[in-house]
Amino acid sequence: MTDRILTTHAGSLPRTPELTRLLVARDQRRAFDVAELEEVTADAVAATVAAQLATGLDLINDGEVPRVGFSTYVLERIEGFGGAGHRKPTLDSVRFPDYAAFQAKQIVEGADVARVWDPPMAQGQLLYDPTLSGITADLDGFERELAVQAGHARTPAGTFFSAATPGIVSTTLLLDAANPFYGDDRAYVFALAEQLRIEYEAIVARGHVLQLDAPDLAMERVIHFGDATLEEFLAAVDLHVDALNHAIRNIPREQVRLHVCWGNWQGPHQDDVPVDVLLPHLYRARVGAFSIPLGNPRHQHEAPAFREHPLPEGALLIPGVVDVTTNYLEHPQVIANRIVEVAEAVGDPTRVIAGTDCGLSTFASYEFVATDVAWAKLGALVEGAAIASKRLFGS
């Protein structure tokens, strides 16, 4: 039991320009200095861990700073991908051509950006790196900095480590129709589940809570499934949850938290599927906590849905109470109001942990919030949680 609202975030935190440059170069298969990347990454992890502790966050991670992106990093750990796919445009871009043109101006052709919309496809048999070198290096770097901070800074209430889900990988790194190993999406997503299971179990074995990043369970309604019916999309959600459950079958549910979102781009989001439609499907996941955005103009009104659709027994809710697409700095009282509304809808404040809507740098080179503002937002989150705690717990 807790007598206050704990704080966390959705995983990714700002990277330095130097690290972004090197990560994008590696992602684009251009020449880069390996030793420099290792040094810059270690420095970034150290600074990110220290900053989280100094800010007052309770549940922390490595900020995902060693990865080029929250989902495409798996290209460096699973073989079987090649070529280039072409993801569909968002329904925002289809319905609002002026918005699409505005967005196109934000990225200059030939600029150094991560491969988000044209990443490789699954062309062969999937096989996770048997040496586990990538995930081991990330975990080692995080734990090394935790050890450095021990005794010099606050001890965090807990740690977590992020990993992509089979569903988001399958809708980002598309299945090549000519792949001789996987004849349909079901075969592909379950193959991914079996390979990603290796990474999931490695994270939990090191004592960290596993955060599963699954924007496919909401966001892909307006991308991959943009021309599908709602029923077809929800069937895909159920399939992806089944694959997810298969991948975490050996992990206690209290060691897993699931992050679901509608995408953290600056767009209208008018076609986002409502959360009350999703919750019965999301609740099928064998996880101990659900991280869901509620701090943005499109979804803040949906907090009452958790009264209509109560959390599964024993599960926690990590509501996003800070928007990660705008440089507006939320007032702590605004954040406190959001937390209290969610806690009242859930019916038990001990089952609520305050978080952010999504990551603040889900892909290197695709940031919407300035670094100093991002950290100010996290500071406001901590202040807002303290205010909410007084209102909810009386202390």
Q: In sequence order, what are the residues at sequence separation of 6 or more whose Cβ sits closer than 8 angstroms to the Cβ of residue 347?
A: 307, 310
Question: Is residue 134 included in any domain, yes or no?
Answer: yes
Which pair of structure tokens corresponds to residue 50? 């220290």
Classify residue 1: in a domain, yes or no.
Answer: no
Distances (CA, A) of 281 to 113, 217, 285, 334, 343: 34, 9, 8, 30, 22
CATH of the domain at 363: 3.20.20.210
Q: Which domain holds residue 35?
A: 6-393
Percent helix, percent strand, percent coil in the chain, to nearest 5: 45, 15, 40
Q: What residues contact 160, with CB distance under 8 A and at least 6 apart?
A: 8, 11, 59, 60, 61, 208, 209, 210, 211, 257
Total of domains in the chain: 1
Task: Evaluate whether residue 164 is within a structural domain.
Answer: yes
Determine how many CB atoms are found less than 10 A away from the CB of residue 331. Answer: 12
pLDDT tens, residue order, the chain (395 aa): 578 999 999 999 999 999 999 999 999 889 999 999 999 999 999 999 999 999 999 999 999 999 999 999 999 999 999 999 999 999 999 999 999 998 887 664 445 677 888 899 999 999 999 999 999 999 999 999 999 999 887 899 999 999 999 999 999 999 999 999 999 999 999 999 999 999 999 999 999 999 999 999 999 999 999 999 999 999 999 999 999 999 999 999 999 999 999 998 989 999 999 999 999 999 999 999 999 999 999 999 999 999 999 999 999 999 999 999 999 999 999 999 999 999 999 999 999 999 999 999 999 888 899 999 999 999 999 999 999 999 999 96
- CA 241 to chain CA centroid, Å, is 16
Q: What is the pairing mode between strands 59-60 and 158-164?
A: parallel
Q: Is 1 in contact with 350 (CB distance < 8 Å)?
A: yes
Q: Is residue 234 part of a domain?
A: yes
For residue 44, being part of any structural domain is answered with yes
Q: Are 216 and 206 in contact (CB under 8 A)?
A: no
DSSP state of 217: G
**Is 235 contained in some domain?**
yes
Q: Does 267 reside within a domain?
A: yes
